[in-house]
Amino acid sequence: MEPILQIKNLTKNFGGLCAVSNVSMQINQGELIGLIGPNGAGKTTLFNLLTGVYEPSSGLIEFNEDGKKIQLGGLKPYKITAYGIARTFQNIRLFKTMTVLENVKVAMHKNIRYGTLAAILRLPSYYSEEKWVEEKACELLKEVGLYGKRNEQATNLPYGEQRRLEIARALAIQPKILFLDEPAAGMNPQETAELTNLIYRIRDKYNLTIILIEHDMSLVMKICERIYVLDYGKLIANGNPEEIRNNEFVIKAYLGEEI
Amino acid sequence: MSQFLQQVINGLSLGSIYALIALGYTMVYGIIKLINFAHGDIYMLGAYVAFITTTYFGFSFFPAMIASMVVCGILGVLIERIAYKPLRHATRIAALITAIGVSYVLEYTTQYVMGSEVKTYPTLLSNVSFSLGPVTISMQQVYIFTITIVLMIALQLIIKKTKMGRAMRAVSVDEDAAKLMGINVDTTISFTFLLGSSLAGVAGILVGIYYNSIDPLMGMVPGLKAFIAAVFGGIGSVPGAMIGGLFIGIAETMVVAYGSSLYRDAIVYLILILILIIKPDGLLGKNQREKV
Amino acid sequence: MPKQLLNKENIAWLASAIVIFLVCSVLMNAGIINSYYQITLYNICINIILAVSLNLVIGICGQFSLGHAGFMCIGAYSAGIVTKMMPNLGGLFLGLLVGFVISAIVALIVSIPTLRLKGDYLAIATLGFAEIIRIIVQNMKITNGAAGLSGIPRLTTWPLLIIGVVIALVVVCNFTRSAPGRACLSIREDEIASEAMGINTTRYKVIAFVIGAILASMAGALFACNFYVINPTQFTFNRSIDILVMVVFGGMGSMTSSVIAAAAIGILNMILQNFSDIRMIIYGLALVIIMIFKPSGLLGTKEFSFKKLFQKRKGNR
């Protein structure tokens, strides 16, 4: 089967600094991929390239939409999102003073079929669409266990719940591929365990391909089927958790060179 | 051709005044990322201080200039301490609104005290002019241009060679890191306002001489133009402010000479919009990007 | 008409608009609101429209525009010129329409390049555009240059003003509580996240800006047909700041507070009419003090809502 996402020789330079250098990856439909590496290895930059925040200096990002090859490199973020590619943010970027429910509704935007004029004139399409949006958003909030807090301001949620809201918001896009940027950062072991279950559950339920950046190695080793390792912007290893654990380049990257 | 040269000369002297004001904008923006809307009004006050000291106390040009510099410098520091310091970590829009508020207070307090009528400026510099080939240059223009250049060089030396200048540069790059290195950030920011505002004081007296008249609302439009000059040159850059000021000055005199004086101000705004769209970092500015 | 429109809150809103309209009409007819107070009342209505429309751009969409006076200027001159040729209600409607079209086109031209800019740069660019609009008006023949237009027929009436205010409020509130409105709010909150959620941020910024411009031109038209005389000096940067002051006083993002602030400032202006310098000093000081001590404005983002009121009453029972 064709991979759902193919990255070929992707490079990003910031002035003289090469943040991502000649990275190639193949991601298949339904996989759960881990992306690891020391701090500053270029993981988030890679996510930013894949979601359109940055434009690649060179290389290709090819998305397979039901057999049709689409080049994502250099597209605007909202266009990439429209193909069904969603993300969460490492440093949590919720719409802070909007309610939990509104946060999810914003992400459903591309599927809402009424325009500005219908909104202002309150045409029937406004009411029918808003009803559907409300139901769907509540359903997603139940999924991540935040339904009871739907009318709270996002900024008032505790940290772990903010991370889960980020996931709910990304799911509202109805994605095919989901990028999770350090979803377990700052969580206690129990929250991490709940998160693990949530990731499994949403993958099966929504038929997702998930790529996650994470520093919690136990989480990565437990749930990821395949792991890519970045160091200084270069891909240094790729394999299943067992192979990565024993890979000498990976050990060197994390522990430093032996003299 | 001779008319063109003449316009360049006129533009240079007007432009050097803009450059002096632009320096204050550029330094303040460089260090606390605030468009100090009140800066134009500080320069208006500089003009008034010189007007009062010369008319009522019989000061000559240089003592009056020093008086303007001192008063404006102190005022700049006071404004920073009272109005801007509490907002240093607020949103940039909040800080901008505050600056607009300060600007209103300065303008209308002056209007309340001094009256809203236009005042005729005393002749402080000899207005003898002499011919240099095809163009006529007045002594005033020579003074204006020379004073600007001297101040500009002095400022550049302060920023590049002194300890305070180094602190200013450090704070503008990273306030927190500068604090950790033992730099007194508050003093540094106040010093920046002191420098910028005293330069505006000089610009005030020069504008009074150049246009021969002053009024309480004179700060707004030249203030905006000077800001545009700072943006043109690349905000945060001292040479950029100089280049920007001269460019705006020359562009303005050219439009008046060859186009229509009615569109004198429109051309400056047009330059602003073009530069913001084509190269928002300005000629000598650095590119900055938000981290995701 | 969708049946959902006929709910308790909407009826309550309609009823309160009618009550305010009738009470003021009676007071005006009885002479309790004399012609002097009437000027203030009319001014307040025009300012409400301006404040609400600017609040859409600044408070809802988070785009700091300092050029609102430019669109008001377009509306005022369109209506002024058309009604001078056609001094009746039809002329006013035609003038309004012309103003809408021109201001929408100008808003599009202004916004597409400038809305890429952020925060304070955007503020300066919009300010520049508004000044350019004013300078062009000042130099055109049809607008009678710096002297301005005089003898504009007085067509603005109390019912028209109330209808204008209601239209502005309904448009802005309906927009805010809809998918496009949520898109604008999300841009205000976090533009990068908003784009990552599939929002075409440029598009929604432009939409908010254009709606704001059209409403401002409506206010301009009502202004022109109320005061007989208009000239370019009425639409300077200072006018934009006046509108901004109302939005900031009340609270950016709250329409209720824009209405209250416009009314309060209107009354304050009337009281301080003979002390215009002091008035401006007070405004300046107030801007500084509010930003330092309560940057969210006097009422923050709170909105008055009949729905909440009804729910509370139910809860108490």
Average pLDDT in the A10-26 region? 90
- Write out the two tokens for C159: 């019912």
Contact A82 C198 (CB under 8 A): yes
- Other C-beta atoms closer than 10 Å to the C-beta of C230 total 25
Q: Residue B268 has what pLDDT?
A: 86
Q: Which of C206, C200, C201 is nearest to C188 (CA)?
A: C201
Q: Are C191 and C201 in contact (CB under 8 A)?
A: yes
Q: Do A105 and C181 touch (CB under 8 A)?
A: no
Given this model, what pLDDT does residue C164 score? 96
In a domain, A35, yes or no: yes
| Residue A13 sits in the same domain as residue A131 | no
Residues of B with Cβ-Cβ distance to C128 under 8 angstroms:
228, 269-270, 272-273
Query: Which tokens sit at C12?
Result: 């309550």
Share of chain A above pLDDT 90, in %: 78
Distance from A18 to chain C by nearest Cα, in Å? 23
Nearest to A177 by CA among A132, A129, A216, A211: A211
CB contact under 8 A, C123 and B35: yes
- Judge whether A187 lies within some domain: yes
- The whole-angstrom distance between B126's CA and the closest CA on chain C is 35
A45 CA: distance to closest CA in chain B (Å): 9
Residue A72 shares a structural domain with residue A105: no
Cβ-Cβ contacts under 8 Å, A126 against chain C: 2, 178
Hey, is the C-beta of B113 within 8 angstroms of any chain A C-beta?
no
Choose among A52, A106, A129: nearest Cβ to C186.
A106
* Cα–Cα distances in angstroms (integers) from residue C74 to residues B204, C46, C117, C131, C240, in the given order: 35, 15, 24, 12, 14
Verify whether the Cβ–Cβ distance C180 to A119 is below 8 Å.
Answer: yes
Residues on C contacting A at a C-beta cutoff of 8 Å: 2, 4-5, 170-171, 174-175, 178-183, 185-186, 189-190, 192-201, 207, 211, 301
Q: Count of domains in chain A?
A: 2
**Contact: C291, B108; criterion CB under 8 Å:** no
Report whether pLDDT(A91) > 80: yes
Q: Does C200 sit within 8 Å of A106, measured CB to CB?
A: no
Taking a C-beta distance cutoff of 8 angstroms, is the pair A209, A63 a contact? no
Task: Report the CATH number at residue A238.
Answer: 3.40.50.300
In the sheet where A17-27 sits, what is the strand order? A17-27, A5-14, A58-65, A68-71
Contact B290 C192 (CB under 8 A): yes
Query: Which residue numbers in chain B have pLDDT < 50?
Result: none
Note down the domain range covering A130. 95-159
Residues A77 and A183 in one domain: yes
Region of residue B167 (phi > 0: left; psi between -120 and 50: alpha; otherwise: beta): alpha
Residue A80 binned pLDDT confidence (cut-offs 50, 70, 90)? very high
Among the partner-chain residues C2, C174, C182, the one whose CB lies closest to the CB of A124 is C2
Q: Which residues from chain B sit within 8 angstroms of residue C283, using beta carbons?
A: 101, 104
Chains that touch A (3 or more CB pairs under 8 A): B, C
For A51, phi then psi, to 5°, come to -100, 5
C243 touches chain B (CB under 8 A): no
Give contacts of C185 with chain A, Cβ < 8 Å.
95, 98, 102, 106
In DSSP terms, A26 is beta-bridged to: A6
Rounded to the nearest angstrom, the minimum Cα separation between A126 and chain C is 8
Which of C52, C176, C189, C202 best tests the A interface by mutation, with the highest count of A CBs <10 A? C189
Q: Which of A134, A159, A184 is the last residue of a domain?
A: A159
Give the torsion through C-alpha atoms of C63, C64, C69, C73, to 10 deg: -30
Residues A102 and A217 in one domain: no
Domain ranges for chain B, please list them: 16-217
Phi-psi region of A2 (alpha: psi -120 to 50; beta: other; left: phi over 0): beta
Q: Which residues of C touch B103 (CB under 8 A)?
A: 284
CA neighbours within 13 Å on the CB side: how many for B81? 11
**Counting beta carbons within 10 angstroms of the beta carbon of residue C196, is it exposed (0 to 12), middle (13 to 18) or buried (19 or more)?**
buried
Average pLDDT, chain A: 91
| HSE-CB for A37 with a 13 A CA cutoff | 25
A107-155 pLDDT per residue, tens: 999 999 999 999 999 999 999 999 999 999 999 999 999 999 999 999 9
- Cα distances from B57 to residues A90, B52, B204, B209, C264, in angstroms, run 65, 7, 18, 18, 45
> Chain A contacts of B292, Cβ < 8 Å?
44, 48, 53, 89
Query: If DSSP codes are grouped into helix, strand and coil, which group holds residue C22?
Result: helix
User: How do the domains of chain C map onto residue ranges?
Assistant: 41-234
Q: Going residue by residue through chain C (317 aa), what tens digit of pLDDT does each one get?
A: 677 777 888 888 889 999 999 998 898 888 888 888 898 999 999 999 999 999 999 999 999 898 999 999 999 999 999 999 999 999 999 999 999 999 999 999 888 778 877 777 888 889 889 999 999 999 888 888 888 999 899 998 999 999 999 999 999 999 999 999 999 999 999 999 999 999 999 999 999 999 999 999 999 999 999 988 999 999 988 899 889 989 988 888 889 999 999 999 888 888 888 887 788 888 889 889 988 888 877 777 778 878 777 877 776 65
B292 to chain A, closest Cα gap in Å: 8
**pLDDT score at C315:** 64
Q: Give yes or no: residues A213 and A181 share one domain.
A: yes
Nearest chain B residue (CA) to C295: B94
The pair of structure tokens assigned to B135 is 């163009």
Q: pLDDT tens across A163-216, in order?
A: 999 999 999 999 999 999 999 988 888 989 999 999 999 999 999 999 999 988
Cβ contact, residue pair C182, A98, below 8 Å: yes
Query: Are C196 and A77 an interchain contact pair (Cβ–Cβ within 8 Å)?
Result: yes
CB pairs under 8 A between A and C: 105
Q: Are strands A17-27 and A209-213 parallel, antiparallel or unpaired?
A: unpaired
Q: What percent of chain C has pLDDT over 70?
A: 98
For A45, nearest residue in chain B (alpha carbons): B292
Is C283 near chain B, with CB under 8 Å?
yes
C 78-137 residues with CB below 8 A of B?
113-114, 116-117, 119-121, 123-125, 127-129, 131-132, 135-136
pLDDT at A89 over 90: yes
| pLDDT tens digits for range A31-44 | 999 999 988 889 99
The pLDDT of residue A226 = 94
Task: Output the furthest CA–CA distance in chain B (Å, rounded).
Answer: 60
Q: Does B1 touch chain A (CB under 8 A)?
A: no
CB contact under 8 A, B276 and C114: yes
A72 with A112, same domain: the answer is: no
Determine the pLDDT at residue B141. Answer: 87
Residue among C4, C182, C201 minimizing CB distance to A102: C182
At CA C185, angle to CA C181 and CA C187, rounded to 5? Answer: 115
Judge whether residue A259 has pLDDT over 70: no
Neighbours of chain C (3+ CB pairs under 8 A): A, B
Q: Which residue type is seen at C140?
A: M
Distance CA C183, CA C195 (A): 9
In chain A, residues with a C-beta closer than 8 Å to the C-beta of C60 are none
In chain A, whose CA is at the least distance from the CA of C301? Answer: A97
> Per residue in A108-138, is it b (16+ CB within 10 Å) or e — as a string?
bbbbbebebebbbebbeebbebbeebeebbe
CA distance B121 to A121: 60
A95, C199: Cβ pair inside 8 Å? no
Q: Residue C186 corresponds to which amino acid?
A: S
Domain final position from A159, A184, A203: A159
Confirm whether A184 is domain-assigned. Answer: yes
- Count Cβ–Cβ pairs < 8 Å, chain A vs chain B: 4
Q: Are residues A151 and A125 in the same domain?
A: yes
> Using a CB-CB distance cutoff of 8 angstroms, which residues of chain B are in contact with residue A48?
292
Q: How far is C201 from chain A (nearest CA, A)?
A: 8
Q: Which residues of C touch B217 (CB under 8 A)?
A: none
What is the least distance, in Å, from the CA of A103 to any CA of chain B?
A: 19
The label of the residue with tokens 């996931």 reads A167
| Contact with chain C for residue B107, Cβ under 8 A | yes
Structure token pair of residue A178: 């989901």
Please, what is the Cα angle at C62 between A124 and C308, to 5 degrees?
50
ipTM: 0.92
Query: pLDDT digit string (tens) for B117-130?
Result: 888 888 877 778 88
Q: pTM of this prediction?
A: 0.90
For residues B83 and B95, what is the distance between their CA atoms, to the nearest angstrom?
9
Least CA distance to A181: which residue of chain B? B292
Burial class (CB in 10 A: 0-12, 13-18, 19+), C147: exposed
The chain A residue lying nearest B286, using CA atoms, is A15
Cα(C135)–Cα(C138) distance, integer angstroms: 5
The answer to whether the CB atoms of C237 and B101 lie below 8 A apart is no
**CA of A12 vs chain B CAs: smallest distance (Å):** 15
Residue A168, domain member (yes or no): no
